[in-house]
Amino acid sequence: MIAIIDYGAGNIFSVKNALDYLGYENKLTDKAEDIERADALILPGVGAFPWAMNMLKLSGLVDTIKSEARFKPFLGICLGMQLLFEKSYEFEECQGLSLINGYVDKISDPGLVIPHMGWNKLEYNHNCPLFDGLSDNEYVYFVHSYKAFLQDKNLCAYSTYGTKVPAVVTDGGYVYGCQFHPEKSGETGLRILKNFAELKS
Amino acid sequence: MLAKRIIPCLDVRDGKVVKGVNFEGIKEVGDPVECAYEYNLQGADEIVFYDITASHEGRGVMLDVVRETAKKVFVPLTVGGGIKTVDDIRDTLRAGADKVSVNSQAVQNPSLIKQGADVFGSQCICVGVDAKAVGENKWTVFINGGRIDMKRDLIEWVKECEALGAGEICLNSIDTDGVRGGFDLPMLKAVVDAVKIPVIASGGAGKLSDFADAFLETDCSAALAASLFHFKELTVSQVKDDCRSKGIIVR
């Protein structure tokens, strides 16, 4: 069972719809026992970093998430990916889950339309099991105004929007993050979710 | 590089896709969930449902359409038409829409944009704008399907939308809508230059090259069409092939 962590953030039904469509058992949950029992975890999210981190703290799930992420496949999506880092500067400096080294800050380029919204091409940096079956001409759907700043070894793929925008990140272990929405990225996104669901702990 | 988006729009009334040449000639042309699925297969980058239902019962039917579509179509879905309150926005997003498009309601009550953006984020608030030329390089905003001139300057209005937190502008030119002679490029260019948020071109697509022209002549982010795709005169993939052959990046 894949636990989709429900802490009051958006887009959880889209993630559930995609997993249902792919035929993977899943459960929307805000309970620690479900997270402990699950084979894999997905942390979705749309909105602002400080608000989401606060909701996670209020849910009492932060410690459970951090310890379980060491033993089983874990995927953060969009804001859920940003929460994996040590901190963010969205509105105010705010601590994250610190599962991957790095921080989150505004995409700043005076010439760019912000948010970075739409389909952008995946450019591969390091091999990653989430890319099984993908070609080198795959587009995925992004909607965000902040991006991750991280070490090269943690960057699996990026897209180009002014500069490099981290698209798929990892801690090198079980933790992965997608800045884009795989559940809204057509066949490419479904394949990435399927690859994630097939990961074994 | 960010790809230019091609967006088919489905007009829905009481749970059926309809298409009217004018207001009298409305006819049903199909099931919206099936139509959306077909567009998805053609490579649509996003799908817009425009709800032209007036009744309260019809709103519930529209949400069912969104709910069913979201189970089998995995690209962004936008719902426009009849969204008047923050609760309407919430219900629509909960049904599975990724964005809502507000139009007349936003002109009459601009705080709807700000409230929606504050609660749900700018990314899900698209403001639909209907405008018409009233002089050289001067346009005003209309509401109620182009029937009422609000005497509001277009450029001022789109800037206000951006300041209120709109994530995107869908710009429909009343002058070119239905004429099928191409998008209104001067109006489109003026709006794209006035705001930093993405602008969707709407109204006027009549042939294959109209889409590429909008992308080559302006910095718009997306182009939307309804009847052209409904009546299968063109497919989304044909439009993309044409754009690609002209060096425009599409998915």
DSSP assignment of B182-215 equals ---HHHHHHHHHH-SS-EEEES---SHHHHHHHH
CB contact under 8 A, A18 and B74: yes
pLDDT of residue B23: 47
How far, in Å, are A87, A177, B52 from residue A99 at the CA level? 11, 10, 47
Looking at the predicted structure, is the pLDDT value of residue B22 above 60?
A: no
Question: Which of A119, A178, A183 is most worth mutating to test chain B (most B CB atoms within 10 A of its CB)?
Answer: A119
CB contact under 8 Å between B251 and A119, yes or no, is yes
How many CB atoms are closer than 10 A to CB A155?
Answer: 21
Residues from A in contact with B at Cβ < 8 Å: 10-11, 13-14, 17-18, 20-21, 46-48, 113-121, 139, 141, 143-144, 159-161, 183-187, 189-190
The length of chain B is 251
A95 contacts A54 by C-beta, under 8 angstroms: no
Model confidence at A139, pLDDT cuts 50, 70, 90, reads very high
Per-residue pLDDT averaged across B120-147, rounded?
A: 93
What is the rounded average pLDDT for all residues in chain B?
92
| Closest residue on chain A to B47 (Cα) | A184
Q: What is the pLDDT of residue B227?
A: 87
Beta bridge partners of A123: A158
Q: CA-CA distance, A137 to A145, in Å (whole number)? A: 24
Q: Is the pLDDT of residue B52 over 80?
A: yes
pLDDT in tens, A149-160: 999 999 999 999
Give the dihedral sign, CA A5/A6/A11/A14.
Answer: positive
- pLDDT per residue over A10-39, tens digit each? 668 899 999 999 999 999 999 999 999 999
| Confidence check: pLDDT of A51 > 90 | no
Per residue in B64-119, pLDDT (tens digit) is 999 999 999 999 999 999 899 999 998 999 899 999 999 999 999 999 999 999 88
**How do residues B59-77 score in pLDDT, each as one tens digit?**
788 999 999 999 999 999 9
Pairing between strand A163-170 and A175-178?
antiparallel
Percentage with pLDDT > 70 across chain A: 99
Known catalytic membership, residue B11: yes
Catalytic residue set of A: 78, 181, 183
Q: Which of B9, B93, B111, B21 is nearest to B51 (CA)?
A: B9
Check B123 against A139: CB less than 8 A apart: no
Query: Domain A2-198 is of which CATH architecture?
Result: 3-Layer(aba) Sandwich (3.40)
- Concerning whether B219 is annotated as a catalytic residue, the answer is no
Q: What is the pLDDT of residue A62?
A: 96
Q: From the CA of B197, how many Å to the nearest CA of chain A?
A: 6
Q: Write B87-93 long-range contacts (CB < 8 A, 24+).
A: B88/B59, B89/B116, B89/B119, B89/B120, B89/B124, B89/B125, B90/B119, B90/B120, B91/B63, B92/B63, B92/B66, B93/A10, B93/B120, B93/B124
> How many CB pairs below 8 A link A and B?
81
Contact between A151 and A126 under an 8 Å Cβ cutoff? The reply is no
Q: Chain B residues with CB-CB distance to A under 8 A?
A: 1-3, 5, 40, 45, 70-72, 74-76, 93-94, 96, 98, 120-124, 167-168, 196-198, 221-222, 251
pLDDT in tens, B151-199: 999 999 999 999 999 999 999 999 999 889 999 999 999 999 999 999 9
Mean pLDDT of A115-128: 96
pLDDT bracket for residue A9 (50, 70, 90) = low
Residues of A whose CB is below 8 A from B198: 113, 117-118
Omega of the bond leading into A115 within 30 degrees of 0 (cis): yes
The rounded radius of gyration (Å) of the Cα atoms in chain A is 15
> What is the set of domains in chain B, with CATH numbers?
5-245 (3.20.20.70)
User: CB distance B98–A18 less than 8 Å?
Assistant: no
Instruction: Determine, for residues B1 and A120 on separate chains, whether the beta-carbon distance falls below 8 Å.
Output: yes
Q: Structural domain boundaries of chain A?
A: 2-198
